[in-house]
Structure 1
Amino acid sequence: MHMQEIREIAKVHGIKTAKQTKVNIIKQIQRTEGNFDCFATAVDHQCDQTGCLWREDCFALSGKKHSS
């Protein structure tokens, strides 16, 4: 998802996005929505949150994070 789309979702929830990373913004959105703030923490593409809006980006970022 593009940052502009993420910022628009954050704005709906009253979250300020200035000087924040994509990961931090999404985690704040997750908490505000009452979900786990687990974005970018999946290991080996394992996640039980199948309906998550962030799933594709999560796997992409967590793969980079855990591949080192």
Structure 2
Amino acid sequence: MNLQEIRNIARAHGVKPGKLDKEHLIKTIQIAEGNFDCFATASDGVCDQTGCIWREDCFAMAARKTQPH
């Protein structure tokens, strides 16, 4: 999902996107929804939230975070 789409979702939840990066903006939206701010924490590729709209981006970002530099 691109950043503009995420900003639109944020606004729909009453979150002001400001200059937050993608990861922090999604985590802020998750909190506003009453969920855990777990985005990009599925480092082992396991998540039980099968209906999450962030799932694809979450796994991709979590995988990048665990790759050696």
Both proteins in one fold, TM over 0.5: yes
**TM-score of the two chains, using structure 2 as the length reference:** 0.92
What is the number of residues matched between the two proteins? 68
Structure 1 outlier segments of 4+, above 4 Å: none
Tell me the CA shift for residue 44 of structure 1.
Answer: 1.9
Provide the residue aligned with 2:13 in structure 1: 13
- Structure 1 letter corresponding to 2:26: I
- Separation (CA, whole Å) in 2 of partners of 1:30 and 1:52: 10
- RMSD, aligned CA: 0.8
Question: Where in structure 2 are there 5+ consecutive unaligned residues?
Answer: none
- Residue 20 of structure 1 aligns to a residue in which SS? coil
Residue 58 of structure 1: CA displacement?
0.2
* TM-score, length of structure 1 as denominator length: 0.94
Letter in 1 for 2:9: I
Identity fraction in percent: 60
Q: Whole-Å Cα distance in 1 between the matches of residues 44 and 67 of structure 2?
A: 9
Distance 1:43 1:5 in 2: 24
